[in-house]
Copies of this chain bind each other. A is one copy, B any other.
Amino acid sequence: MAKAKRLCTLLIRLLAFGATLSATIVMATSHETTSVFNLSFKVKYTDTPSFKYFVIANAIGSVYGLLVFFLPAESLLWRLVVALDVVFTMLLTSSISAALAIAYVGKKGNSHAGWLPICGQVPDYCDHVTGALVSGFTGVIIYMGLLLYSIHTILNPLPVKA
């Protein structure tokens, strides 16, 4: 029973690892060259500080997700994993929020500040970024589920029968 639970947790962690890794890769490979009035220019994720932060945070999250796999089942470090999960879930949450806020301005613009939407000019870039955000969001949701489940397991002192 404990073994099945452990396997299940590892599978969910594998999913979270896949989500953060693909978010990193999809965002890091997002670029498009477009031309306006014969002037060609290139957009890529490094143009926006929030997207750079997103890539860095998801890369760190992926490395952490990978390291957890190599932790032996009996290790006392598993206790530390709950605290680390908190820290890395926060990191991923903040990166996705920042990237989402900027992507929203890129999509809709902000007429009050005079910021025009740019997705009309670079639709492929926008699709790429959207994909990365969806993937990153999935990772955060999975980590949040894992975290709440850990806390539930630790805190529930009542042994349930059967």
Interface residues of A in 125-162 (CB under 8 A from B): 144, 147-148, 151-152, 154-156
A: contact size bracket: 35 or more
Collect the chain B residues with CB atoms within 8 Å of residue A114's CB. 115-116, 118
**CB of A90, distance to nearest CB on chain B (Å):** 5
Collect the chain B residues with CB atoms within 8 Å of residue A112's CB. 43, 47-48
Q: Select A96's contact among B79, B94, B148, beta carbons within 8 Å.
A: B94
Collect the chain B residues with CB atoms within 8 Å of residue A115's CB. 105, 113-116
Overall SS of chain A's interface = helix
Collect the chain B residues with CB atoms within 8 Å of residue A156's CB. 79
Query: Do the beta carbons of B154 and A48 come within 8 Å of each other?
Result: no
Q: Which of A112, A144, A147 has the most CB of B within 10 A?
A: A112
**CB of A130, distance to nearest CB on chain B (Å):** 16
Collect the chain B residues with CB atoms within 8 Å of residue A43's CB. 112
